[in-house]
Amino acid sequence: MSPSPDLLAELLELAKEAAIRAGSLLRDGRPADLGVAATKSSPVDVVTEMDLASEKLILELIGERRPADGYLGEEGAERNGTSGVRWVVDPLDGTVNYLYGLHNWAVSVAAELDGRAVVGVVYAPARGELFHAVLGGGAYLDGHPVSCRPAPPWGQALVSTGFNYVQSVRVRQAEVLLHLMPEFRDIRRGGAAAVDLCDLAAGRVDGYFERGLAPWDRAAGVLIAREAGALAGGRPGQEPDGDLTVAAPPGLFEQLQQRLDEIGAWRD
């Protein structure tokens, strides 16, 4: 059964409020002496005190407004819900960019209904950009519709990607790029998966792929990219997952997905 328009509108407004409030906290509250609070998968996969503060703000806001909903957040917050709605949140996507004072970071908030993303919001405060999408309703940047670029010829594609923080995975990702670099116009690496997917939605790159994304990395961004006209998947016939996420317009998507599968971009 399709979700009601009233429910989608409620979820979208809450997602926007959560992303904007958390993003404003991150932008305006960033301490001059910001440091690493913890590490995750490797010594270079960092968490700052601001990641934790952002997640706390979002979790408390959603808990107040919709206490029966479930929640999954990057920094460890997780709860089961009873409403069928689950929020999947990256409170600071692009933490290393944020730590270094680069602008490519965002707050990503998605709402799933019965396991399917129906609302996605990505707010990039340092870029002054708010992306959103509702299932079946198109993708928007600052309230204006956006769409991905038409598929270019294979050799003219500008494709973005990212790298894992686990050294052995990064080495394999570099090997994949050795295969692909001669076949593309060029590669871009922004350092924030949610922003990369939104840039695809806005026509700023032709395609995107990455290995190792968690649900919070891709939930909002994949919905936004799809609503902008992109196809998204993992290995052929599969949904985006931790092994591989691929997104591109029809015509390029199939070629990119197949080439990545041939190279074995999903494995060590």
Checking if the pLDDT of 44 tops 80, the result is no
**pLDDT value at residue 42:** 52
In the chain, ranges of CATH 3.30.540.10 domains: 5-146
What's the confidence (pLDDT) of residue 40?
56
Check whether 167 has a pLDDT greater than 90. no
CATH of domain 5-146: 3.30.540.10
- CATH of segment(s) 154-263: 3.40.190.80
Exposed e or buried b for every residue in 41-79, given b needs 16+ CB within 10 A? eeeeebbbebbbbbbbbbbeebeeebeebbbbbbbebee
- Residue 106: which H helix or E strand, with range? strand 106-113
The pLDDT tens digits for 189-239 are: 999 999 999 999 999 999 999 999 999 999 999 999 999 999 999 999 999
- Tens-digit pLDDT profile for residues 60-86: 999 999 999 999 998 778 899 999 999
The ranges of the chain annotated as CATH 3.40.190.80 are 154-263
Strand ranges in 114-169 using DSSP code E only, listed in sequence order = 116-124, 129-134, 139-141, 144-146, 158-161
Q: What is the pLDDT of residues 233-258, one digit of tens each?
A: 999 999 999 999 999 999 999 999 99
pTM of the full predicted structure? 0.94
Residue 152 per-residue DSSP state: P
Contact 226, 232 (CB under 8 A): yes
Q: What percent of the chain has pLDDT over 70?
A: 95
